[in-house]
Structure 1
Amino acid sequence: MAVVDHEGAVVRANDALGALLGTEPAALRRRPAADLVDLASDSRTWHSYRQVLDNRRARFRCTRRLKHADGRTVWAEVTVAPVPGSGDILLSVTDISDRRELQARLRHLQMHDSVTLLPNRALFFERLASALESASGGMGAFDPATRPYGDAGAGGGAGGAADSRADGVVDGGARRRGDGRTGRIGLCYLDLDGFKAVNDTLGHRTGDRLLAAVASRLTECAEHDEHDDRTGGGGHLVARLGGDEFAVLVEDSTGTEQLAGLARRILAALQRPFDLAGQRLSMSASIGVVERAAEGTTPTGLMQAADTTLYWAKADGKARWTLFDPERNAHRMTRQALSSTLRPAVEREEFVLQYQPLVGMADGVVRGVEALVRWNHPQFGTLAPNRFVGIAEEDGSIVQLGRWVLRTACRQARRWQLDHPGVAPLFVSVNVAVRQVWDSDLVADVAGILAETGLAPDLLQLELTESAVMGSAGRPLQALQALSNMGVRIAIDDFGTGYSNLAYLSRLPVSVLKLDGSFVRGFRYDEGVHPSPADETIVEALVQLAHRLGLTVTAECVETSGQAARLQRIGCDTGQGWLFSRPVAPERIAEMIVALDTSRVTPGA
């Protein structure tokens, strides 16, 4: 202890204070107390200390790091308070070095993985937050072990800033660069391919040995990268985030080239066999690599990007590294947004149908229309089926959506029939996903909708893809047979792109083949492009076969009059494509029906 006057000078000091500072108590007299225990190193601490000296504050406490005369560091808790009735100030200094050392040990145990001895998830995120703040120009984080002790609101926080500066950075081993910072941060996020099999077959003890060996190789890779002159020497942190997941954080990244080089080195290091107590194991890893400006980046955002990129690496085949791609991520985010809003969109009536005419190749008369669904999305605008039908099939909402399309199309076909009684009614063709056959009672749905709308069964055509009907057996085959018995026509869409096993045509209740547009495109006479004789031969053979089986043939993607003429010559029954009309609103189809008395649709309408 020491007694201090109101000017801040030591009046007298006891032997314990002299021993703590490594000097004789008499040598401390008349010396400024603030110099002895480092109270003037920052303005907040100095201000609080002066308030006690001036009788404007009752007490002040902080934690300081002092230098002993022999050069060693002493952590001390400093308390400054008036001595009642004397007018003097009492300076009390307590050695808390042992307490600090214990706290540091406990913190190390708390913040490090017991198997690999690497920093754990908690320390990784603390370091990541600190790195982002520091690289963005902030003050940086401080080690919680240096938090000052004492009375809340009594100036204890004043010592925190000084403690932080003295300690440097969290986990003390990482370097903070002053000049030449890049303001960027990089992350290699990885997990081991097939690690669960190691635990399941060889046991957790071998698994733990493998994790420790992996940690050692990751650390070597990170140290090599840190000391590589080409990388700029930014600080690296290798951490185990849990299970077989690891991360290598690169502060002051110099760009994606550095991160890619580090990822390649890690892959090569982990693909070398591991010798573990007589067990020789081969291992690989998948790595997601993210590199970006620190400013505006959050720990959560960086880890989400890394997690997504790691998933891509796994999905692309494992044993590889993948760099974060903003465009690919935007597509994923859009897909997720569409998936989450698809079911409610049906109830909100965000879907509409357009109709594309199916035209007789011999006379140009509209025979029917194909119903094509569009999604008027409030955020992404009008979406074609290829943007959302696959998602609907994956999550099962295709059943609800398909039922709405079927009902809407049948209702519209019946309305045209009633509005134009003097014209032969058009049939309507509706696409059906194979999941609708499996996950719903399609036969009951069709029967109910036909009864509800009053549309005759022979005016409804259901289209299924070739791959969907190939090998149909059990419920799908029974459903198709029941629909055919009802009078509904069954069409195979995109014929020629699937298995092309013609045997199934004789046993399935199919009425129509729709030739894939790839065949028809081979008929075009474009500049520098000549039609394919092979395509014409194949189409002609398919048409003849279909006719022998009692089927009609529709050609898709008819775009030119030359294609139409050749398709007509080889006997194709109907055509569909932009030569005749793009998909249009129901009102435009009504206009075509009115014009049917001319028995021809003007090409290019």
Structure 2
Amino acid sequence: MSKLLRVLIVEDFVDDAELLLLELRRNGYEPISQRVETKIAMKTALEQQDWEVILCDYSLPQFCAMEALRLLQEKELDIPFLIVSGSIGEETAVAAMKAGAHDYLLKDKLARLVPAIEREIREAKERGARRKAEKKLRYFAYYNELTGLPNRTKFIKHLNLKIKNFQEHNFNSPFAVLLLDLDRYQMIKYSLGHLVGEEMLRSTSRRLKTCLSDRDFLAHLGGDNFAFLLPDIDTLEQAKQRINEIQSKLKSPHNFDGPVITSTASIGVVMSNLSYQQAEDFLKAADTAMHYAKLQGRGSWAVFDRSMHEKVIERFNLETDLQQALKSAQLYLHYQPIVSLQTEELIGFEALVRWRHPQQGVISPAKFIPVAEESGLIISLGEWVLTEAIERLCIWQEYYPHNSDLTISVNVSGLQLKHPNFLANIDRICEQFRLSGHKLKLEITESVLMENPQAVSRLLTQLQEREIRICIDDFGTGYSSLAYLHHLPINILKIDRSFINNMDNGGKNIDIVRAIISLADSLGLEAIAEGVETQQQRDLLRDLGCEYAQGYFFSRPLPDDAVLALLSTNPV
């Protein structure tokens, strides 16, 4: 079967053109050809067809090979170009090759025609592949492959031009740099998978594009960092308006054919009046402001000032030290007793993690737990707490078998619940220490419960199938829906300490506590009051029908040796 070949013949003699076509047919080709003999005709032919090879006589009455080569160069076309002439001197041939011709042949010696065409078409394809690869490399040198947005290199280049313009116009062309970091992105990526994480970044980039005005510049700096260069911003009020617009676009839920994800961004802002000379200095300042904003909570923003640096460095150091603490036995557990309000019998303990820093001493969980959650260290920290707490409970019950009904309560973060190995880890740890599931209670907050109720419900059902009991921690401080609460597989409501405080002074707190206890009773749930500090609080809770409590009135959180001493005196 003949092979098609698109060939443009630049020749003023019809017979010579036919000889070329005959040679092609003799060698198994079916040429799709056009003959031209002027520059205008060749230009039109190039615009109307993608030619695979050009066969050109060296000299024509109104045209020549050198002009034809210049036309190809003007159009930036790389098409194999072979000169086929009646006679051509060596110097002329060399000049033509230097001008871009790929080969030359004599009309009375066409045996080399087809091999030359095949060779040049093959080499043209290789050149095309190289150009395509080089173009791709040039593109990805300045654009992010995942989102298609300009990357950090392109942003820095653009920002440096803006800085130069700002200086040349006597600082009369103000601007602002915004650096965005997606809140909870690491949690999303590691709990739902990298593919969902990537789709999250693409979805975010599409939303951010809708915030652009004509002169704005948006870039994806890498990971979950995005940056805006906003011209004509010279007041914080203007910057605030743009930030509110961005946050509004980002906070709508993302739906990825399954998980529904919500996220905000922490934003660092740098105004041009800081008069930095280099783009990198602006980005460093914006990064500092962004991390400072994270310290204020999700969805926050902050404008850079030099005093922020120390606080951000402190946060970085805390994260680094926490990583080391997980490896070097700086963490330990205390255990707060939970008692029956009716009998004051000990029923179990809540495990509470503590950190003794080698230089700073004891660091409050309120300080390091948020850092662990934001950095993703909560996964390894939570697994360590679970393992340590279960091991200690088993040891206590081995020492004091008459306390075999005691339970251990462990706090679990949303990131842990979403981790794909969460259930497998619990199974492994319980099996390792031969702990029955009914002796383990897992405490989760209302906010985690309501973030994705259907997915959480499935997981809680699987936990309850293992006889593990579920507590809603700090109940009343979140935003749980009573409709969801009725259907979720939970066992216990823990009344937040903020409602227990001042309960003995009357007022709204006692009404709230009464309502929570009544709700628990109607749903068939147990109620545990946290933060009980006075006898009057204990008595009121008992009168209201609350079953269990914990707090300083009964006992502070205890180290392991104090728990052993307590259990040695605990009645059978």
TM-score for both structures, normalised by structure 2: 0.52
- The partner residue of 1:561 within 525, 535, 538 is 535
- The partner residue of 1:481 within 456, 461, 474 is 461
Amino acid at match of 1:512: I
Structure 2 equivalent of residue 578 of structure 1: 552
Amino acid at match of 2:529: A
User: Do the aligned residues in 1 keep the contact of 2:442 with 2:471 (CA within 8 Å)?
Assistant: yes
| Corresponding residue SS for 1:470 | helix
| CA separation of 1:589 and 1:201: change in aligned 2, threshold 3 A | same
CA shift at 1:409, angstroms? Answer: 0.2
| Corresponding residue SS for 1:583 | coil
CA shift at 1:453, angstroms? Answer: 0.8
Identity over the aligned pairs, expressed in percent?
30
Q: Take 1:417 and 1:286, find their aligned partners in 2: how far apart are those partners?
A: 56
Amino acid at match of 2:570: L
Structure 2 equivalent of residue 531 of structure 1: 506
- 1:191 paired with 2:177, answer yes
CA shift at 1:595, angstroms? Answer: 2.1
Q: Take 1:243 and 1:467, find their aligned partners in 2: how far apart are those partners?
A: 31
Q: Take 2:442 and 2:302, find their aligned partners in 1: how far apart are those partners?
A: 45
- Structure with higher Rg: it is 1
Structure 2 equivalent of residue 592 of structure 1: 566
| Deviations 1:303-358, CA, capped at 9 Å, x for gaps | 7884456548988999x9946263x5433222212223434432323211111111
User: Do the aligned residues in 2 keep the contact of 1:289 with 1:322 (CA within 8 Å)?
Assistant: no
User: Do the aligned residues in 1 keep the contact of 2:178 with 2:228 (CA within 8 Å)?
Assistant: no
CA shift at 1:387, angstroms? Answer: 1.7
Q: Take 1:471 and 1:243, find their aligned partners in 2: how far apart are those partners?
A: 29
Q: Take 1:334 and 1:583, find their aligned partners in 2: how far apart are those partners?
A: 28
| Deviations 1:283-309, CA, capped at 9 Å, x for gaps | xx9545999xxxxxxx99987884456
User: Do the aligned residues in 1 keep the contact of 2:334 with 2:557 (CA within 8 Å)?
Assistant: yes
- 1:549 paired with 2:523, answer yes
Q: Take 2:388 and 2:394, find their aligned partners in 1: how far apart are those partners?
A: 10
Q: Take 1:517 and 1:585, find their aligned partners in 2: how far apart are those partners?
A: 22
Structure 2 equivalent of residue 217 of structure 1: none
- The partner residue of 1:374 within 345, 354, 362 is 354
Q: Take 1:543 and 1:269, find their aligned partners in 2: how far apart are those partners?
A: 49
Please give the root-mean-square deviation of Cα atoms over the aligned residues, in Å: 4.5
User: Do the aligned residues in 2 keep the contact of 1:290 with 1:323 (CA within 8 Å)?
Assistant: no
- 1:324 paired with 2:299, answer no
| CA separation of 1:341 and 1:286: change in aligned 2, threshold 3 A | closer
| Corresponding residue SS for 2:470 | strand
- The partner residue of 2:428 within 448, 468, 473 is 448
| CA separation of 1:189 and 1:360: change in aligned 2, threshold 3 A | farther
More helix by share: 2
| CA separation of 1:330 and 1:561: change in aligned 2, threshold 3 A | farther
| CA separation of 1:190 and 1:484: change in aligned 2, threshold 3 A | same
Structure 1 equivalent of residue 317 of structure 2: 337
CA shift at 1:452, angstroms? Answer: 0.7
Aligned length: 349
| CA separation of 1:583 and 1:331: change in aligned 2, threshold 3 A | farther
Q: Take 2:551 and 2:514, find their aligned partners in 1: how far apart are those partners?
A: 19
Amino acid at match of 1:455: L
User: Do the aligned residues in 1 keep the contact of 2:340 with 2:547 (CA within 8 Å)?
Assistant: yes
Within 5 A, what are the aligned runs for 1:21-100? none
Gaps of 5+ in 2: 1-158, 181-207, 218-226, 241-267
| CA separation of 1:301 and 1:502: change in aligned 2, threshold 3 A | same
CA shift at 1:590, angstroms? Answer: 1.4
Structure 1 equivalent of residue 249 of structure 2: none
Structure 2 equivalent of residue 516 of structure 1: 496
After TM superposition, the structure 1 stretch with the greater mean CA deviation from structure 2, 475-484 or 405-414, is 475-484
| Corresponding residue SS for 1:545 | helix
Q: Take 1:191 and 1:476, find their aligned partners in 2: how far apart are those partners?
A: 39
User: Do the aligned residues in 2 keep the contact of 1:491 with 1:511 (CA within 8 Å)?
Assistant: yes
Q: Take 1:192 and 1:401, find their aligned partners in 2: how far apart are those partners?
A: 33
Q: Take 1:396 and 1:322, find their aligned partners in 2: how far apart are those partners?
A: 26
User: Do the aligned residues in 1 keep the contact of 2:179 with 2:290 (CA within 8 Å)?
Assistant: no
CA shift at 1:505, angstroms? Answer: 2.7
| Deviations 1:570-590, CA, capped at 9 Å, x for gaps | 011111111112212011111
| Corresponding residue SS for 2:352 | strand
Q: Take 1:539 and 1:432, find their aligned partners in 2: how far apart are those partners?
A: 24
User: Do the aligned residues in 2 keep the contact of 1:434 with 1:468 (CA within 8 Å)?
Assistant: yes
| CA separation of 1:557 and 1:321: change in aligned 2, threshold 3 A | closer
Structure 2 equivalent of residue 435 of structure 1: 415
CA shift at 1:373, angstroms? Answer: 0.8
| CA separation of 1:484 and 1:287: change in aligned 2, threshold 3 A | same
User: Do the aligned residues in 2 keep the contact of 1:493 with 1:514 (CA within 8 Å)?
Assistant: yes
User: Do the aligned residues in 1 keep the contact of 2:176 with 2:239 (CA within 8 Å)?
Assistant: no
User: Do the aligned residues in 1 keep the contact of 2:492 with 2:528 (CA within 8 Å)?
Assistant: yes
| CA separation of 1:347 and 1:537: change in aligned 2, threshold 3 A | same
CA shift at 1:470, angstroms? Answer: 2.1
CA shift at 1:535, angstroms? Answer: 2.2
Amino acid at match of 2:312: R
Structure 1 equivalent of residue 142 of structure 2: none
Structure 2 equivalent of residue 164 of structure 1: none
TM-score for both structures, normalised by structure 1: 0.49
| Corresponding residue SS for 2:478 | coil
User: Do the aligned residues in 2 keep the contact of 1:489 with 1:511 (CA within 8 Å)?
Assistant: yes
User: Do the aligned residues in 2 keep the contact of 1:463 with 1:492 (CA within 8 Å)?
Assistant: yes
Amino acid at match of 2:378: I
Gaps of 5+ in 1: 1-111, 124-172, 175-187, 209-241, 248-262, 272-284, 292-298, 525-529, 600-605
Q: Take 1:540 and 1:269, find their aligned partners in 2: how far apart are those partners?
A: 48
CA shift at 1:378, angstroms? Answer: 3.0
